[in-house]
Amino acid sequence: MTESKIITQICIVVNDVKQANANWAKVLGRLEETIETIFPDGILHYADTEPVEYKGIQVAKYDLGNFVLELLQPGPTPSPWRTFLEKNGPGVFHFCVLVDDRKVFQQTLTEIGVGLPYHIGYFPQGSYSYVDAKTQLGLDLSVNYLGEYQELFAGLLRGTAVPLDELK
């Protein structure tokens, strides 16, 4: 059976989410979206398997039917988004792909020369991760998985599991 994969989101990192939100609303002919500060409690974040915490990230999300356009302004603390903005300026950070099986999809990425995720976020209902696919695909790819991660999440909290165990 072929694994299902769909692009669900395009993330654009910006300097000023309020201005970008106003501009996109005008271009799309819509009302401005609500700007939220993320991340909610209940997500464990890791950068290269080390725990990290992100503060002050602001996003506006436009549901455009086939995908969500996410405008993201990084917070002041180190993060993948802050690094991207400082290195490249505003621009497309990632496409998000929703997959049925993270391990199988990672094998596909490995076949084209993409390494393991450099950033991953876990929650009881799944995970998201970023892989550097700039050479192979022209951008970073966010790989999202929605499924039963209660046991893995609990193991991460207890210290009996480590990030990326599910890909082994």
Per the CB < 8 A criterion, the answer to whether 48 and 115 are in contact is: no
What are the phi and psi torsion angles at 165 (to 5°)? Answer: -55, -35
Mapping DSSP to helix (H, G, I), strand (E, B) and coil, where does residue 83 land?
helix
Please tell me the distance from the alpha carbon of residue 5 to that of residue 108, in angstroms, as a whole number. Answer: 12
Per the CB < 8 A criterion, the answer to whether 135 and 157 are in contact is: no
Please tell me the distance from the alpha carbon of residue 50 to that of residue 14, in angstroms, as a whole number. Answer: 26
pLDDT number for residue 156: 87
Per the CB < 8 A criterion, the answer to whether 71 and 21 are in contact is: yes
Q: Does the domain formed by 5-167 have CATH 3.10.180.10? A: yes
pLDDT number for residue 19: 98
With residue 100 as reference, give the H or E element that holds it. none
Q: By mean pLDDT, which of 45-49, 55-59, 160-164 is the weakest?
A: 45-49
Give tens-digit pLDDT for 53-109: 888 899 999 999 999 999 999 988 888 999 999 999 999 999 999 999 999 999 999
| pLDDT band (50, 70, 90) for residue 1 | very low
Give tens-digit pLDDT for 13-24: 999 999 999 999
Q: What does the domain layout of the chain look like in residue ranges? A: 5-167
DSSP 166: G
pLDDT number for residue 59: 95
Nearest to 99 by CA among 153, 168, 53, 167: 167
Q: By mean pLDDT, which of 1-10, 87-96, 109-118, 147-156 is the weakest?
A: 1-10
